[in-house]
C-alpha cells in the first residue's frame, strides 16, 4: 500500500511540471502585456522611456529563458513571485480568495451529493417507473440550466418575493458562521443542483449494474432485508464510480465558478482568474493556473487512494 | 398449411423492420421531442427577421425597462430594445456558435484521437500528456485562455469553444480507436500496402463514428452554455448583437430590482435549447452506443 501511494504520488510531478512549462509559454502568446495595458491604453501620453522603465521593473525585458528559469526555480522554493498588477506576492493574492472558493466548492459538492445519491438510488430501484422518469427529468434539467441563471433566479425570488437580500460581503466561516452561510448557501445551491445532475445519473447507472450481479441475487435469496442488501452489498460497490465523479467535480469547482462568482459578486479564485487574464498579470495567471491544476491532480490522487482503499484488488503495476 | 402459417408469422415481422429513423423516434419519444424543438429553434433563427416583432438592436429611449405587455410581450431592456425580438435573434447566435463549435471541436478531436491511436508509441504518449494537461482545467478556463489569445467575436468564439472541446472528444474517440486499431482488418490493410492516412480515414474513422456522434451532440449543449457564459462575462459576443448570455450580463441584484423579465426570458431560452439538445443526445447515445456514459 505504501509503495502504491508513493508511486502514485510521484506521478503527480511530471503533470504539474508540464503545466508549469505550458502555462509560461501560453501566457506569453497572449497579445499585449501588462505595461501596454496599464500605461498606453489609459489614453494618456507616455514616453517610450517610461514604458521601458516599467518593463525593466517587472522583469519583462529579460530574456525569456531567464524569466522562465526564475519562474521554475521559484516553484521549487514555493515562491510564485509578485503580482505584476498589485505588487503583492501571488501566494498572498490567492490566499485571500481561496477560503471562499474552497468553502463554496465543499458546500456545492455536499449539496450535490445529498441530492444525487438518494435520487439516483431511488431511480435505480424503480427503474422505468414514474419515479425514475421524474428523477431523469430533474437531472436532465439540471444539466440544461446555466448555474449563473439559476443564481439570478434565486436572487430574484429572494428579493422579489421575500424582500430578502443575502449579505454581499464575505465573512470568514469561523468569524461569523451565520453571516457566512447566509451569503454562500445560495450560490452553493445554484451550483450544487447543476453538479448533482451528473452524479445522479452516475449513481443510477452504477447501481443498476451492481443490482444485476450474482451476489445481490444471493443476498435476496438468503432472505436479507432490503435495506441491508442495498447498503451493504449494492451501494458500497456502486459508489466507486460515483466517488470519482464527485471528486473530479469538486476539483473543477475550485477555479471553475467564474460566472457564478460574478453573479453573486463573490471575490473568489474564478473571479481572480478572469481579472488576471484581463490585466495580463503574467505572474498571477501562472500562479493561479498552477493552483487549479494542482487541485485537480491532488483530488485525482486522493480518489485513486480511496479506490485502492475501497477495493483492495487495485495495486499499481 | 404449415408453410402458410410460417409465412404468416414471418411477414408482419418483416414489415415491422421499419426505417431506422422511424424506429429511433418510436423508441425514444423524448429524443424525438428534442429534435422537434431544435427544428423549431432553427426555424426561429432562420426566419427571425420576419417573426421578431421589433428590430433587435433598435434603441428606443422612450420605452426603457417596460414590463411585459401586449406591445412588448417580454418587456424591454435598458436601451428600450424589445426583449422577445432579442431572444428570437439570439437563437441565431446560439445555434451558429453551438453547431459551429461542436462540429469543429468534435471533428478535430476525433481526428487527433484516431491519429494518436493509430500511430501509438511516442506520438500517442506526447498527445496524451498534452491532453492530460488540458483536461486538468475546467473547460471554461480553457475557453477563457484561448479567447484571451485570439480575441472575441463570433468567429473567434467558435474557434475558442471548439478547441476547448478537443481534449475531451479526443480521449473518448481514442479509447474506441485503440480497440479498432487491434482489429485484424487493420493489419490486413497494412499487409496489402495501404498507407497510414488511407487506413486512418478509410478503415478506422468509419468505425469510431458512434462515439464521435455521441460526443458531438454532448458538445452541442455544452457549446451553447459556454457561449452564454463567455458572453455573460463580456468575453464572447459583443453588444449590440443579440445573444442570450449577453442579455443576462450584469449583477443579479440589478435585475431583481429593475427588470426581472430581462433575466427570465433569455435564461429560459438557454435552458430550453440545451434541454432539447441534451435529451436528443441522450437518446442518440442509447441508440448508438449504450456503453458510453458521458
DSSP for B95-122, please give it: HHHHHHHHHHHHHHHHHHHHHHHHH-HH
Question: What residue ranges define each of the domains in chain A, with the CATH number in brackets?
Answer: 2-76 (no CATH), 98-310 (1.10.3720.10)
- H helix count then E strand count, chain A: 15, 0
CB contact under 8 A, A160 and B132: no
CB contact under 8 A, B270 and A15: no
Could you give the CA distance from residue B194 to residue B236 in angstroms, rounded to a whole number?
45
CB contact under 8 A, A144 and B221: yes
Q: 3-state DSSP call for residue B175?
A: helix
A63 CB burial (10 A radius; 0-12, 13-18, 19+): exposed
CB contact under 8 A, A159 and B253: yes
Contact B30, B40 (CB under 8 A): no
Q: To probe the interface with A, which of B138, B255, B293 has the most A CB atoms within 10 Å?
A: B138
Q: To probe the interface with A, which of B236, B256, B272 has the most A CB atoms within 10 Å?
A: B256
Question: Residue A5 half-sphere exposure, CB side, CA atoms within 13 Å?
Answer: 6
- H helix count then E strand count, chain B: 14, 0
Q: What are the CA-CA distances from residue A212 to residues A116, A209, A272 (Å)?
A: 21, 6, 47
Q: What are the CA-CA distances from residue B45 to residues A259, B95, B251 (Å)?
A: 26, 8, 28
Could you give the CA distance from residue B89 to residue A206 in angstroms, rounded to a whole number?
42
C-alpha gyration radius of chain A: 24
Non-local CB neighbours of A82 within 8 Å, separated by 6+ positions: A88, A89, A90, A283
Could you give the CA distance from residue A284 to residue A80 in angstroms, rounded to a whole number?
8
Question: Residue A93 half-sphere exposure, CB side, CA atoms within 13 Å?
Answer: 27
Could you give the CA distance from residue A20 to residue A14 in angstroms, rounded to a whole number?
10
Chain A touched by B251 (CB under 8 Å): yes
Chain B touched by A287 (CB under 8 Å): no
Chain B residues near residue A264 by CB distance under 8 angstroms: 252
Could you give the CA distance from residue A201 to residue A123 in angstroms, rounded to a whole number?
9
pLDDT in tens, A237-261: 888 888 888 888 888 888 788 888 8
Could you give the CA distance from residue B111 to residue A23 in angstroms, rounded to a whole number?
25
Question: What residue ranges define each of the domains in chain B, with the CATH number in brackets?
Answer: 75-292 (1.10.3720.10)
User: What is residue B6's predicted lDDT score, i.e. its pLDDT?
Assistant: 47
Per-block average pLDDT, block size 10, for chain A (317 residues)? 79 82 79 68 66 71 76 76 75 85 91 91 85 86 88 85 77 78 88 89 86 84 84 81 85 84 86 84 84 87 81 62
Q: Cell digits for A277? A: 487574464
A225 CB burial (10 A radius; 0-12, 13-18, 19+): exposed
Chain A residues near residue B140 by CB distance under 8 angstroms: 256, 258-259
DSSP secondary structure letter of residue B207: G
pLDDT in tens, B198-223: 888 888 888 888 888 888 888 999 99
CB contact under 8 A, B141 and A273: yes
CB contact under 8 A, B137 and A289: yes
Q: Which of A188, A191, A169 is nearest to A180 (CA)?
A: A169
Non-local CB neighbours of A170 within 8 Å, separated by 6+ positions: A100, A180, A183, A266, A267
Chain B touched by A273 (CB under 8 Å): yes
Q: CA of A225, closest CA in chain B: separation in Å? A: 31
User: What is residue A192's predicted lDDT score, i.e. its pLDDT?
Assistant: 92
CB contact under 8 A, A205 and B148: no
pTM of the model: 0.85
Q: 3-state DSSP call for residue B294?
A: coil
Phi/psi at B82 (nearest 5 deg)?
Answer: -75, 120
Cβ-nearest to A256 among B130, B138, B279: B138
C-alpha gyration radius of chain B: 24
CB contact under 8 A, A30 and B148: yes
Within 182-241 of B, beta carbons closer than 8 Å to A belong to: 221, 225, 228-229, 232-233, 235
CB contact under 8 A, A293 and B133: yes
User: What is residue B96's predicted lDDT score, i.e. its pLDDT?
Assistant: 92
Residue-wise over B185-202: b if at least 16 C-beta within 10 A, else e?
ebeebeeeeeeeeebbee
Chain A touched by B7 (CB under 8 Å): no
3-state secondary structure A282-308: HHHHHHHHHHHHHHHHHHHHHHHHHHH
CB contact under 8 A, A152 and B267: yes
Q: CA of A132, closest CA in chain B: separation in Å? A: 14
- Closest chain A residue to the Cα of B262, Cα to Cα: A152
Neighbouring C-beta atoms of residue B239, cutoff 10 Å: 12
CB contact under 8 A, A277 and B148: yes
Q: To probe the interface with B, which of A34, A123, A149 has the most B CB atoms within 10 Å?
A: A149
**Which residues, given as ranges, of chain B have pLDDT below 50?**
1-3, 5-8, 10-14, 293-294
Contact B186, B235 (CB under 8 A): no
User: What is residue B293's predicted lDDT score, i.e. its pLDDT?
Assistant: 46
Q: Cell digits for B189? A: 490493410
Within 244-263 of A, beta carbons closer than 8 Å to B belong to: 252, 255-256, 258-259, 262-263
Q: Cell digits for B159? A: 474557434
A-to-B residue pairs, Cβ atoms closer than 8 angstroms = 131
Q: 3-state DSSP call for residue A89?
A: strand
Contact A83, A281 (CB under 8 A): yes
Cβ-nearest to A156 among B255, B270, B275: B255
Amino acid at each position: 500500500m505504501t509503495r502504491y501511494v508513493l508511486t502514485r504520488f510521484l506521478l503527480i510531478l511530471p503533470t504539474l511540471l508540464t503545466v508549469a512549462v505550458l502555462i509560461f509559454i501560453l501566457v506569453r502568446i497572449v497579445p499585449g502585456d501588462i505595461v501596454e495595458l496599464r500605461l498606453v491604453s489609459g489614453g494618456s501620453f507616455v514616453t517610450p522611456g517610461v514604458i521601458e522603465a516599467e518593463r525593466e521593473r517587472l522583469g519583462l525585458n529579460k530574456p525569456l529563458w531567464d524569466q522562465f528559469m526564475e519562474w521554475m526555480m521559484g516553484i521549487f522554493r514555493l515562491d510564485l513571485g509578485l503580482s505584476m498588477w498589485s505588487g503583492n506576492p501571488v501566494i498572498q493574492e490567492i490566499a485571500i480568495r481561496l477560503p471562499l472558493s474552497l468553502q463554496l466548492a465543499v458546500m456545492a459538492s455536499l449539496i450535490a451529493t445529498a441530492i444525487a445519491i438518494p435520487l439516483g438510488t431511488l431511480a435505480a430501484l424503480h427503474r422505468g417507473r414514474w419515479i425514475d422518469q421524474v428523477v431523469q427529468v430533474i437531472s436532465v434539467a439540471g444539466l440544461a440550466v446555466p448555474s449563473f441563471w439559476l443564481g439570478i433566479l434565486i436572487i430574484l425570488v429572494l428579493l422579489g418575493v421575500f424582500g430578502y437580500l443575502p449579505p454581499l460581503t464575505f465573512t470568514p466561516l469561523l468569524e461569523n458562521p451565520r453571516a457566512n452561510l447566509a451569503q454562500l448557501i445560495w450560490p452553493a445551491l445554484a451550483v450544487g443542483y447543476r453538479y448533482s445532475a451528473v452524479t445522479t445519473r452516475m449513481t443510477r447507472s452504477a447501481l443498476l449494474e451492481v443490482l444485476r450481479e450474482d451476489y445481490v441475487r444471493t443476498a435476496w435469496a438468503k432472505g436479507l432485508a432490503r435495506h441491508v442488501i442495498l447498503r451493504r452489498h449494492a451501494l458500497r460497490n456502486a459508489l466507486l464510480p460515483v466517488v470519482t465523479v464527485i471528486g473530479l467535480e469538486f476539483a473543477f469547482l475550485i477555479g471553475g465558478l467564474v460566472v457564478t462568482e460574478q453573479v453573486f459578486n463573490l471575490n473568489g479564485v474564478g473571479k481572480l482568474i478572469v481579472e488576471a487574464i484581463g490585466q495580463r498579470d503574467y505572474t498571477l495567471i501562472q500562479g493561479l493556473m498552477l493552483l487549479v491544476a494542482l487541485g485537480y491532480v491532488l483530488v485525482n490522487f486522493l480518489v485513486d487512494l480511496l479506490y485502492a482503499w475501497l477495493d483492495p484488488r487495485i495495486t499499481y503495476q | 398449411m404449415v408453410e402458410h402459417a410460417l409465412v404468416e408469422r414471418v411477414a408482419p415481422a418483416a414489415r415491422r423492420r421499419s426505417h431506422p429513423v422511424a424506429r429511433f423516434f418510436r423508441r425514444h419519444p423524448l429524443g424525438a421531442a428534442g429534435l422537434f424543438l431544435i427544428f423549431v429553434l432553427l426555424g426561429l433563427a432562420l426566419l427571425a427577421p420576419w417573426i421578431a416583432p421589433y428590430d433587435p438592436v433598435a434603441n428606443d429611449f422612450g420605452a426603457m425597462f417596460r414590463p411585459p405587455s401586449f406591445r412588448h410581450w417580454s418587456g424591454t431592456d435598458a436601451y428600450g430594445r424589445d426583449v422577445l425580438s432579442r431572444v428570437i435573434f439570439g437563437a441565431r447566435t446560439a445555434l451558429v456558435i453551438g453547431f459551429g463549435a461542436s462540429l469543429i471541436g468534435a471533428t478535430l478531436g476525433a481526428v487527433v484521437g484516431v491519429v494518436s491511436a493509430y500511430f501509438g508509441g511516442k506520438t500517442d504518449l506526447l498527445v496524451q500528456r498534452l491532453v492530460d494537461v488540458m483536461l486538468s482545467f475546467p473547460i471554461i478556463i480553457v475557453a477563457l485562455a484561448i479567447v484571451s489569445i485570439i480575441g472575441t467575436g463570433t468567429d473567434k468564439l467558435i474557434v475558442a469553444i471548439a478547441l476547448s472541446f478537443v481534449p475531451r472528444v479526443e480521449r473518448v474517440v481514442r479509447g474506441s480507436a485503440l480497440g479498432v486499431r487491434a482489429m485484424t482488418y487493420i493489419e490486413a490493410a497494412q499487409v496489402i500496402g495501404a498507407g497510414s492516412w488511407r487506413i486512418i480515414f478509410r478503415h478506422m474513422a468509419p468505425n469510431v463514428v458512434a462515439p464521435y456522434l455521441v460526443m458531438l451532440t454532448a458538445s452541442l449543449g455544452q457549446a451553447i452554455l459556454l457561449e452564454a457564459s463567455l458572453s455573460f462575462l463580456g468575453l464572447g459576443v459583443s453588444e449590440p448583437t443579440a445573444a442570450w448570455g449577453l442579455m443576462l450580463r450584469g449583477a443579479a441584484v440589478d435585475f431583481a430590482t429593475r427588470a426581472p423579465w430581462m433575466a427570465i426570458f433569455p435564461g429560459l431560452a438557454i435552458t430550453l435549447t440545451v434541454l432539447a439538445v441534451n435529451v436528443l443526445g441522450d437518446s442518440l447515445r442509447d441508440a448508438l452506443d449504450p456503453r458510453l456514459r458521458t
